[in-house]
Amino acid sequence: MRSFDRRTVIKGLLSGAVGASLELHAQWHNPPPGRARLAIASYPFRAYIDAPRNHDRIPGKSGMDLKAFARIIPSKFGVSGIEPLDSHFISTESGYVHELRAAFDAAGVRTVNIPVDEHVELCSPDAQTREQGFKIYRGWIDAAVILGAPSVRLHMPSFPDIQNLKVPAQAFARVVRYAAGHNVIVDLENDDPQTENGQRIISFIETANDPNLFALPDFGNGLMGGDEAFNAQQVTTMFRHAKNIAHVKDAESIDGKLRRVDLKQLFDIARAANYRGYFSMESDSDADPFEDTRNLVERSLALM
């Protein structure tokens, strides 16, 4: 088996980072105030979404694909934004994504972000593996362009030396530059208490120092690593570099226990950071997602 040689990795990454010093800026326009800033994430409805890669589908529950899900958003939730999860797409083939765009337009909804959870290895010592990872991310960025999504949420590249952020930042540069060249922003979410906590995300963004890389604050994910005060601190940290999307929830189900947050406090944090982007409702409690999402919409409108 080939050994993991840091020099080999860095040498390979440098070839993919040619032009990294070029100043590409994706154009971002703040949404209008009020309901126009709100969106509905498909993630809370994963038990209902029919898609080949959606392993959270629960047989017996009434099913719908993303096209049908888009149609219910204006009537059930009174907003016009949608945040479709990658595993809820049938594919990233251009023909399908164009069909999806037509269905979203007909439903009167717009895509505000695409969260992508595909496994890629941008820091692999193997050039072919790195290239395959880039192609996967490129496919999702191309899908975002077709859907008119201003951003994609990706994951920090993994690297054995977790203290070394320079190598994964260099690996990520090619992806962020490709996105910027297609007028798409890349976001990183506080999605894991160890590898993607708020402090590590912000350190990575500041190490990368790219004008097209931002933070996606999640209102409840910090509860996986600490108490409510810790979660609020994580959200505060993330809003230092947030621009276009944040995930709203007032509770998180962790190990079968429901833990809550102070929604007003978190909206106050966003306001203090002068955040002007979208708020996507991402219910993650034990409640019915339809009812809980409606509740989050109304509370968000009162607190924004």
In the chain, where the domains are located: 112-288
Which parts of the chain have pLDDT scores under 50?
1-22
User: What pLDDT does residue 2 have?
Assistant: 37
3-state helix, strand, coil in the chain (%, to 5): 45, 15, 40
Q: Is 171 exposed, middle or buried (0-12, 13-18, 19+ CB in 10 A)?
A: buried
User: What pLDDT does residue 286 have?
Assistant: 82
Residue ranges of alpha helices (H) inside 28-165 are 66-77, 94-107, 127-147
Q: Which fold has domain 112-288?
A: TIM Barrel (3.20.20)
Scanning the structure block, which residue is given the tokens 């859907």? 147
pLDDT digits (tens, 9 = 90+) for 144-177: 999 999 999 999 999 999 899 999 999 999 999 9
C-alpha to C-alpha distance for 296 and 54, rounded to whole angstroms: 24
User: What pLDDT does residue 263 have?
Assistant: 97
Residues belonging to the chain: 304
User: What pLDDT does residue 285 have?
Assistant: 85
pLDDT digits (tens, 9 = 90+) for 238-247: 999 999 999 9
User: What pLDDT does residue 10 have?
Assistant: 45
User: What pLDDT does residue 289 have?
Assistant: 96
C-alpha to C-alpha distance for 238 and 216, rounded to whole angstroms: 7
Contact (Cβ atoms closer than 8 angstroms) between residue 251 and residue 207: no
User: What pLDDT does residue 23 have?
Assistant: 67
